Amino acid sequence: MTFPILRRGEMRRSARPMSAAWAVLALGMTACATTATPSRMAPDGLLASISAGTAPVVVDVRTRREYDSGHVPGAIHIPFYSLLARQAEIPGSRDEPVVVYCEHGPRAGVANLALRLAGFKDVRYLDGHMSGWKERDLPTEPSPSSP
């Protein structure tokens, strides 16, 4: 393997984009390290609070197709990749609890980080996510816009 010989200025210029990438990565890792592990909300507890009219804000971060096929009653749909841009759609204050879920957990993890970086103080996971909700045979509702 051969390596090209670069003039000093070329090396420095080519390193700049990597420095910025490392800075962004370090910031994200710092945020993860300083953010408390989110608590979980049991599906039965969430269903009870929905029935009692005391449910926290519930955000489904799955795709539109997944959401339309059935979601937790009363959940709002904001895909995980657009959560920061659409955070104003989350009702209530940033101090109130927000429960996020996807199908199995990874997208909810990204959503948790995004909401915490946006200043939401009490972000919780739905324990078992949507797959756990379905396994317990708990009620779902289709999207009003689903065909």
Of the residues 50, 58, 102, 115, only one is catalytic, namely 102
Calpha distance 121→135 (Å, rounded)? 30
128: left (phi over 0), alpha (psi -120 to 50) or beta: left
Put the strands of the sheet holding 98-101 in their side by side order.
39-41, 123-126, 98-101, 57-60, 76-77
β-partners of residue 41 are: 126
Catalytic residue list contains 32: no
By annotation, the residues acting in catalysis are: 102
